[in-house]
Amino acid sequence: MMVEKNKVVEGDCIEVMDDFDSNSVDFVMFSPPYDVDKEYEDRKGKEVYNLFMTEVMSKLATVLKNDGRFCVVVPFRSGAKTGRWSRLEMLFKCVDGSGMNIRDMIVWNQNDVSGTAWGSWKSASSPNIQYQTEYVVVGYNKQWKKERDGVSTITADEFKKWTISNIWDVTPDSDRSDIVNHPAPYPEELVERCLKLFTYKDALVFDPMVGSGTTCAVAKRFQRDYIGVEKVEKYCRLARSRVRMTDVKSIDLSEDDEVKDEPKQVNLMDYGEKCD
Ligand SMILES: C[S@@+](CC[C@H](N)C(=O)[O-])C[C@H]1O[C@@H](n2cnc3c(N)ncnc32)[C@H](O)[C@@H]1O
């Protein structure tokens, strides 16, 4: 049985994924709990968190198509109170264990440093570096290149801007009044970039931990199908109403027509490696 498309489902993603057809999802994007005492999580500690993420990634490997892709947003590590072990390193291991593959890593520069946790001030004893970045781990199930052609909805300017560097400056939009009731939403622009770069129009986009519904709202806006899962009832309601309020944007790439062939005319060195 396949979970209905264009819905946000309340439940535990590990259980809900059992109701998916295998090989049915084109693209997964999510940000897991970071095991840092947010209101939606009971801190598990490294070992239990590892079991949780291992299970999530291996179930995702079953539901993703062979040429399905994923983007997972994680920090490098947490602070002293919640364990300095690396969430990023753990994700790498869980992806590896699932049999899926990592292709790229985007550095999400939030340009936002708050607080002054110096560690040992002016001493080499135990200095502390503050992070203003998180990471978008980009991967795929069995093959990176798409098996079939589809309709891309990215402009030439967007393509150039988002592929010329793996460092993306994207301001968090956590103070938006419509999503303020979730403690850790990621910005719509981050999802828009990933969706337009990595999926065709009408792709099935899945967020197993949808929170305030950002992934599903952006998928709807840019004419992708979506499924979201969220275990906390109040966030589930928030996500559903946010998606309901989201308008579908019409896609117009006509002004882009004259520059469509541009990459063939320029030095490919400017654009990095050609696709494999
Ligand atoms: C970092 S937040 C996601 C925020 C989301 N990307 C957004 O933009 O709003 C993680 C979410 O995962 C949910 N969650 C945690 N474990 C889950 C599980 N096993 N199944 C479904 N949702 C889960 C939490 O309730 C929380 O809302």
Average pLDDT over residues 52-64: 98
Cα 184 to middle of ligand 1, angstroms:
9
Across 15-132, where does the E strand assignment appear?
Answer: 25-30, 64-74, 101-109
State residue 196's pLDDT score.
98
Residues 184 and 62: their CA atoms lie apart, in Å, by: 27
Cα 81 to middle of ligand 1, angstroms:
21
Average pLDDT over residues 64-73: 98
- Of the candidates 7, 138, 137, 146, the one whose C-alpha atom is nearest the C-alpha of residue 65 is 146
Q: Which residues pair with 266 in a beta bridge?
A: none
Q: Name the band, by pLDDT with cuts 50, 70 and 90, for residue 166.
A: very high
State residue 76's pLDDT score.
94
Q: Is the pLDDT of residue 88 over 60?
A: yes
Which H or E element spans position 227?
strand 225-230
Cα 97 to middle of ligand 1, angstroms:
22
At 211, list the tokens.
């929170």
Give the DSSP letter of residue 72: E
Q: Atom of ligand 1 at shortest distance to CA of 16?
A: 20
Q: Atom of ligand 1 at shortest distance to CA of 235?
A: 27
Question: What is the DSSP pairing of strand 133-140 with strand 204-207?
Answer: unpaired
Cα 209 to middle of ligand 1, angstroms:
4
Cα 192 to middle of ligand 1, angstroms:
19
Model confidence, pTM? 0.91
Ligand 1: which residue has its CA nearest to atom 18?
Answer: 12
User: pLDDT digit string (tens) for 134-153?
Assistant: 999 999 999 999 999 999 99
Query: Which mutation among 49, 231, 234 tests ligand 1's pocket best, with the greatest number of atoms within 8 A of CB?
Result: 231
State residue 44's pLDDT score.
80
Residues 116 and 10: their CA atoms lie apart, in Å, by: 38
Residues 207 and 182: their CA atoms lie apart, in Å, by: 16
Please give all residues whose beta carbon lies within 6 A of any atom in ligand 1, as ranges.
Answer: 12-14, 31, 33, 40, 182, 184-186, 209, 211-212, 214, 229-232, 235
Q: Name the band, by pLDDT with cuts 50, 70 and 90, for residue 271.
A: very low
* Domain 7-113+130-259, classified CATH 2.60.40.1180, yes or no: no
Pick from 2-6, 76-80, 139-143, 187-191: least confident: 76-80
Cα 123 to middle of ligand 1, angstroms:
39
Question: What is the DSSP pairing of strand 225-230 with strand 7-10?
Answer: parallel
User: pLDDT digit string (tens) for 89-128?
Assistant: 999 999 999 999 999 999 999 988 777 788 999 999 999 9
Q: Atom of ligand 1 at shortest distance to CA of 207?
A: 6
Cα 210 to middle of ligand 1, angstroms:
5
Q: Order of strands across the sheet with 101-109?
A: 7-10, 225-230, 204-207, 25-30, 64-74, 133-140, 101-109, 167-169
User: pLDDT digit string (tens) for 251-264?
Assistant: 878 766 554 545 44
State residue 120's pLDDT score.
92
Average pLDDT over residues 58-86: 92
Q: Name the band, by pLDDT with cuts 50, 70 and 90, for residue 167.
A: very high
